[in-house]
């Protein structure tokens, strides 16, 4: 099984997520993670979808089917070594009176994680990194008692010099910046 990251540029319209995911469903391909947000171009969304598959050919066919969606501008599929990727995770850690103290400095230095919010009974720690790094931190922090844990799913950029938006069809783009 290889992990593939599929980047999809689309118009930002209602229902498009559904139109994209049914293409996976129909081929019985599970989505491991999915993030969507608007790009630097107004009205253009970028999907990052992570799947596992043992056939590169099947993934290529999947990509071609996604390209057929009218509102889709471009689709790119990558193996892990072709991208720089990251996730963000939030950990809500219990800190009741008398509990084992959290070594914030150690966490900062060794895990590159930060306390982003605190209350009397708990703190929220933000950790960015690969899935592997996040789970390493998870193992470290687990004894403290994790009240809540969430991962964002992968965001990724390709290692090619050109930005992916450069490949989009010409259009009178409006930029946010």
Partner 1 sequence: MNTTVIELTAEKPQPAVPSAKLLKPLTGAEALMQALVEEGVETIFGYPGGAIMPVYDALYDYQDRLNHILVRHEQGAAHAAEGYARVTGRAGVCLVTSGPGATNLVTGIADALIDSTPMVCLVGQVAMKLLGTDAFQETDVIGVTMPITKWNYQITSADEIPEIIAKAFYLAQSGRPGPVVIDITKNAQVELMTKSFHYKKCERVSTYRPRLIPKQDQVEKAAELINKAKKPYMLVGHGVLISKAEKELLAFVEKTGIPVATTLLGQSALSDDHPLYTGWLGMHGNYGSNVMTNQCDLLIGIGMRFDDRVTGNAELFARQAKVVHIEIDPAEIDKVIKADAPVIGDVKEVLNRLMPLVNENDHTAWRNEFRKYDDIEEEKVTQPALAPTTEKIKMAEAINLLSKKTNGEAVMVADVGQHQMMTSAYYEFKKPHSLVTSGGLGTMGFALPAAFGAKVGDPSREVIAIIGDGCFQMTLQELGTIAQNKLPVKIIILNNNYLGMVRQWQQLFFERRYSFVELQNPDFITIAKGFGIVGHTCAKREDLSASLDTLLASETPYLLEIIVEQEENVFPMVPAGTSVADIRLE
Residues at the interface with partner 1 (CB under 8 A): 10-15, 18-19, 22, 26, 42-43, 57, 60-61, 64-65, 67-68, 70-73, 169, 171
Given the complex with partner 1, which of 60 and 148 has the nearer CB atom?
Answer: 60
Q: Minimum distance between the CB of residue 99 and partner 1, rounded to whole angstroms?
A: 46
Kindly state the helix (H) or strand (E) to which residue 59 belongs, with its residue range.
Answer: helix 56-67
Q: Contact at 8 Å (CB) between 144 and 94?
A: yes
Q: Which is nearer to partner 1, 58 or 115 (CB)?
A: 58
- As a whole number of angstroms, the distance between CA 122 and CA 100 comes to 12
Dihedral sign from CA coordinates of 8, 14, 17, 23: negative
How far apart CA 118 and CA 98 sit, in angstroms, is 17
At its nearest, how many Å lie between partner 1 and the CB of residue 69? 9
Query: Residue 59 corresponds to which tokens in the numbers above?
Result: 């993934």
The least distance separating partner 1 from the CB of residue 48, rounded to whole angstroms, comes to: 19
Shortest Cβ distance from residue 72 to partner 1 (Å)?
Answer: 7
Residue 64 or 109 with smaller CB distance to partner 1: 64
Question: Is the CB of 3 or the CB of 12 nearer to partner 1?
Answer: 12
- Residue 100 phi/psi, 5-degree rounding, is -60, 125
């Amino acid at each position: 099984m290889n992990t593939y990251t599929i980047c999809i540029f689309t118009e930002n319209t209602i229902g498009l997520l559904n139109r994209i995911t049914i293409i996976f469903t129909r081929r019985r391909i599970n989505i491991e993670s999915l993030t969507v947000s608007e790009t630097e171009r107004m009205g253009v969304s970028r999907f990052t979808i992570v799947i596992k598959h043992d056939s590169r050919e099947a993934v290529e066919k999947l990509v071609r089917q996604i390209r057929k969606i009218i509102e889709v501008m471009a689709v790119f599929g990558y193996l892990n070594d072709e991208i720089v990727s990251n996730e963000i995770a939030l950990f809500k850690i219990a800190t009741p009176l008398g509990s084992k103290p959290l070594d914030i400095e150690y966490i900062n230095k060794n895990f590159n994680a930060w306390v982003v919010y605190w209350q009397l009974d708990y703190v929220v720690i933000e950790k960015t990194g690969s899935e592997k790094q996040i789970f390493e931190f998870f193992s470290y922090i687990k004894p403290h008692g994790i009240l809540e844990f969430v991962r964002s799913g992968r965001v990724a950029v390709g290692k090619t010099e050109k930005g992916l938006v450069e490949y989009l069809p010409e259009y009178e783009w409006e930029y946010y910046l």
